[in-house]
Structure 1
Amino acid sequence: MLSIGGSAKMTADVLLNKIFTVNSLRKAVNNKNGDLYKETINSLSINNGEIKTNLDAIKNMYKYMYKSHRNEYFYKNTLINKILLGRHSVRTSTAIRELPISNNILDLLIINGIGQVYEIKTGLDNLNRLKDQLNAYYMAFSYCNVVTDLSHLDDLKELLSDTPTGIILLTNRGTLHVEKSPSEYNDKLNSREIFRILRKGEFENIIKKNFGYLPKVGQSKYYQECFKLFKTIEVKKTQKFMLDELKKRSSINQENYSYFKDIPKELKALVYFSDYKIKEYNVLQEFLNTKY
């Protein structure tokens, strides 16, 4: 792979941010954004001899990200590969991305008995909003981590030294090193924020489980009446019930597990969050094996 610099690198980085998304992968597979796909590969100055199939093209794009552009997707994909798939299992654990909570968007949550938050701060990010973000996440979750690179490490060690928040370093070798383990912290847990995270069917499951019935009121008052019941449950219990419901959101099941297992590591996060059916897994594999 040739090294690229200046404006050419900026162009390549922007294109990579666009191509490694759930929607862009779907479009590429269905031949609906071929121009963007080819433009991204061309921008990286890859030797054409290295690319025989679409899988080769994707591996080369990802290799560039590993060396020169560790964007948010690279971080999330590393967390999925190293923690969800490496330390846990998709059969027993669930990952959720971009979860809205108190006017913030949580980067990644992995549930395996407990719920662990992973807030990503790449070398391209700043730390200005981190305190507010963590305060929000602790309203619903007891374990939070910041995942970062060497450029932020010293600042984070100082900023988080007397806090329960963990620090995980994404090393130059692409591994995850725990610089500081998270501690359980429940002081900010808030029933309303936990309730807001849940979908209608999810909070109904919790209310039925605890009270045996749902409020019999008009639609305009239904949400508020459900919350009145919900908030009477001890907040640590509501957190557990919430995690149980969120864990059910995983799209990987007994039927599609063997298909997901065969997805290349470069695309694990994109496919995990795509809710693919068997037919779509087959179409994706056909695309990957097709001559570029």
Structure 2
Amino acid sequence: MNIGILLNKLFTVNSFNKLVSGESSETYKSIVNELINPPDSITNLQAMNLIYKYMSKRHRNEYFYKNTLLNKILLGRHSIQTSTALRELPINGNILDFLIINGVGQVYEIKTELDNLQRLKGQLNAYYHAFSLCNIVTDQSHLKQIMQSIDLPQVGIIVLTKRNTLHEERKATKYEKKLDYKSIFKILRKYEFEYILQKNFGFLPQVNDFQYYDVCFQMFKQLDIKQAQQEMLYQLKQRETVDRSNIKEFNKVPVEIKSLIYFSNYTDNNFKQLNQFLIKKIGDE
């Protein structure tokens, strides 16, 4: 199987956590045998480091971009104690790649060198129905086409350079003209919009289940649109994926797999299992 396909399969939360828990992974074995020689003389931690180095030069896939954003922006500029990252958030028939909430919501739509740009403008327009700051994160090879074809001057443009740094080609500016109650409301989970309504109106509607969602939405629409957005951002920010009691353990996680662990809701036992996996030599039972 193509090495790129194998790397895409391995660097997912489910696949990696199965590997850490002790399940045999043919994908991992194939990658190790392809990229590391001899494969049984190093630890899993060393293997991950070598695999990630290969990705940084030869296969900067979506995981690599998301992991870079998490390490350099969420952890580098902000803090997991004050900010929250979300990934793959459904909105208006699209899947938002990466979102960081730190007082405001910053959208990061990823277009790697492996992607095409056909849907990009439509995706950005969809995101502006709920968020005011949007960025494209891309490779230098796409930059000229993006600058020419995306006539949205408020969109930020960030280039992942060949040195794997993030270069801000153009800073995102706030754009609120497209904000839409329905788009914002649909992002919220039931307990989240109930909290907002209870907070702002002091009660929840007493209607049957068939009418409940629509009546709640009508109440939500009575808020100022910018307040509605802020209430949504506050709720999204509460969707923390790292338990505060485990921050010290999370800080020890190697940068190569930081994003995988951040989005995995690790417990104390999970961190112990991860550490055991990383120090184990490849091939050891």
Task: Specify the alignment match of 1:6 in structure 2.
Answer: none
Partner of 2:85: 95
Q: Paired residue for 1:81, among 71, 84, 97?
A: 71
Task: Give the conservation status (yes or no) of the 8 Å contact 1:24–1:33.
Answer: no
For residue 72 of structure 1, what is the aligned residue in structure 2? Answer: 62
Counterpart-to-counterpart distance in 2, 1:74 and 1:131: 23
Question: Does residue 206 of structure 1 match 2:206?
Answer: no
**Counterpart in 1 of 2:106?**
116
Which whole-Å deviations, capped at 9, do the CAs of 1:75-124 have from their partners, x for residues lacking one? 00000000000010000000000000000000000000100000000011
1:36 aligns with 2:37: no
Equivalent of 2:14 in 23, 34, 49: 23
* Matching residue of 1:183: 173
Number of residues of Structure 1 aligned to a counterpart in Structure 2: 282
Q: Deviations over 1:16-71 (max 9, x none)?
A: 00000001111111221332211111122x22279510101111111110010000
Q: TM-score when scaled to structure 1? A: 0.94
Per-residue CA deviation, residues 259-286 of structure 1 (Å, 9 max, x unaligned), is 1111000001000011111110110111
Aligned counterpart in structure 1 of residue 5 of structure 2, from 2, 7, 14: 14
Shift of 1:172: 0.3
2:237 corresponds to which letter in structure 1? Answer: K
Question: What is the distance in 1 between the residues matched to 2:185 and 2:155?
Answer: 23
Runs of 4 or more consecutive aligned structure 1 residues displaced over 3 Å after TM superposition: none
Match of 2:272, as an amino acid? N
Match among 245, 254, 257 for residue 244 of structure 2 = 254
Q: Which ranges of structure 2 fall in alignment gaps of 5 or more residues?
A: none
- Partner Cα separation in structure 2 for residue 233 and residue 59 of structure 1: 49
The 1-side partners of 2:193 and 2:18 are apart by 34
Distance in 1 between the 2:4 and 2:168 partners?
A: 28
Sequence identity (%): 55
Contact 2:243–2:265 (CA under 8 A) maintained in structure 1 = no
Equivalent residue, structure 2, for 1:275:
265
- Residue 76 of structure 1 contacts residue 108 of structure 1 at CA under 8 Å; is this kept in 2? yes
Distance 1:192 1:84 in 2: 28
Whole-angstrom distance in 2 between the partners of 1:228 and 1:31? 50
**1:252 match: secondary structure:** coil
Q: Secondary structure at the match of 2:164?
A: coil
Q: What are the within-5 Å matches in structure 2 for residues 129-278 of structure 1?
A: 129-160=119-150, 162-278=152-268
Amino acid in structure 2 at the alignment position of 1:41: V
Indicate the residue corresponding to 2:42 in structure 1: 52
Tell me the C-alpha RMSD between the 2 structures. Answer: 1.2
Q: Does the 8 Å contact 2:40/2:281 carry over to 1? A: no
Give the secondary structure class of the aligned counterpart of 2:177.
Answer: coil
Cα gap change, 1:30/1:50 in structure 2, threshold over 3 Å: closer, same or farther?
A: closer
Matched residue type, 2:32: I
8 Å CA contact retained: 1:15, 1:36: yes
Rounded Cα–Cα distance in structure 2 between residues aligned with 1:253 and 1:39: 34
Q: Aligned partners of 2:111 and 2:220: how far apart in 1?
A: 34
Q: Do the aligned residues in 2 keep the contact of 1:110 with 1:117 (CA within 8 Å)?
A: yes
CA distance in 2, matches of 1:275, 1:91: 15
- Specify the code of the residue in structure 2 equivalent to 1:249: R
8 A Cα contact 2:33 2:39, kept in partner: no
